[in-house]
Amino acid sequence: MKIGILSRKASLYSTSRLVEAAEARGHEVRVVNYLRCYMDITAKRPSVIYHDFVADRNAAEEELHFDAVVPRIGASYTYYGTAVVRQFEMMSCFSVNESQAITRARDKLRSMQILSRAGVGLPTTTFAHSTRHTKGLIDRVGGAPVIVKLLEGTQGVGVVLAETRKAAESVIGAFRQLDANILVQEYIKEAGGDDLRALVIGKKVVAAMVRHAAPGEFRSNLHRGGTAEAVKLTPEERRTAVAAARAMGLSVAGVDMLRSDRGPVVIEVNSSPGLEGVETATGVDVAGQVIQFIETATSRNQKARTKG
């Protein structure tokens, strides 16, 4: 098969592992920087054109054709990246995650609403436009301590633990002053600074790790000094992870959960989960399983087409 990895950098761990896994399984694979592609969206025969203007302004242009693509779209390039993925979909190319599902997953608030509707366990979470609603936001998540989260945050940077109501009110006020969108969330104290990352492919959890926060820290992000190790998930945790990925419409997802007193609660579903942490912690060949998933899914599509 011809497989395209849509990624800005071939040297990234996840990208190079996907290339390696695809080659090992006998596929023709190529890394394509989606920002160097443009597209003809109106043609009878829609196309994606690659032009490496960085290498050479006058470089030859080239139409791309793949049987399948693996989107690894950076958070800052969601809009253009998903447009490229959608264009490949128009060309009957299989995408590991559909463009729509990637867009959906990038909006944290919308994601939580979708998960809630699907009956997936979540920390109690509130959201408001006006600071006049601050009291209600805090009361409804059970009062202090609370977590205040920037909707746009990443790597733990926009996540604050407010130990008292006064602290929560100040943080909410400050963020809203800057026009930032925030969620107020029940603090899952019993998680004890651990969070779970389940790697879901298709209908299965293929690998899972627990991340421990550094001493004195409640955020378990590896960028904040957290450490990771393999973990055996309970059946309920597996079911929750698979249900979350499914509700989001993602075939490959990194589902983050906390162990709360009332069972697993999902805090995030990632559409381009990094492979380095999870492969290192668990020793599972996740990249290989992604490629295997493509093989199964495309041969199933093929059969459906010949039948129809």
Ligand X SMILES: Nc1ncnc2c1ncn2[C@@H]1O[C@H](COP(=O)(O)OP(=O)(O)OP(=O)(O)O)[C@@H](O)[C@H]1O
Q: Which residues bind to ligand X, rule: CB under 6 A?
A: 123, 147, 149, 153-159, 185-188, 191, 195, 213, 218-221, 256, 258, 267-268
192: left (phi > 0), else alpha (psi -120 to 50), else beta?
left
Minimum CB distance to ligand X smaller for 29 or for 162: 162
Residue 224: CB minimum distance to ligand X, A: 8
Cβ closest to ligand X, residue 112 vs residue 206: 112
Q: How far is the CB of 260 from ligand X (least distance, A)?
A: 8
In the complex, least distance from residue 83 CB atom to ligand X, rounded to whole angstroms: 22
Q: Which residue, 17 or 219, has its beta carbon nearer to ligand X?
A: 219
| Least gap, CB of 172 to ligand X (angstroms) | 15
* Residue with Cβ nearer ligand X (64 or 104): 104
Indicate the helix (H) or strand (E) that contains 135: helix 134-140
Which residue number, 237 or 285, has a Cβ lying nearer to ligand X?
237
Q: What is the smallest separation between the CB atom of 88 and ligand X, expressed in angstroms?
A: 25
**Residues 6 or more apart whose Cβ sits within 8 Å of residue 198:** 205, 207, 208, 233, 237, 238, 241, 254, 255, 257
Contact 66, 3 (CB under 8 A): yes
**156 vs 225, beta carbon nearer ligand X:** 156
Separation of alpha carbons 1 and 27, rounded Å: 5
Whether residue 126 contacts residue 184, with contact meaning beta carbons closer than 8 Å, is answered with: yes
Smallest CA-to-CA distance from 8 within 64, 84, 93, 66 is with 84
Closer residue to ligand X (CB): 195 or 279: 195
Q: How far is the CB of 155 from ligand X (least distance, A)?
A: 5
What is the token pair recorded at 284? Answer: 């599972």
Q: In what order do the strands lie in the sheet with 2-6?
A: 28-32, 2-6, 68-71, 94-95
User: Which is nearer to ligand X, 98 or 268 (by Cβ)?
Assistant: 268
Backbone phi, psi, residue 294, to 5°: -60, -45
Residue 271 CB, nearest approach to ligand X (Å): 11
The distance of Cα 39 from the centroid of its chain, to the nearest Å, equals: 25
The least CB distance from residue 197 to ligand X, in Å, is: 9
DSSP, collapsed to helix, strand or coil, labels residue 58 as coil
Three-state DSSP state, 92: coil
H or E element that contains 38: strand 37-40
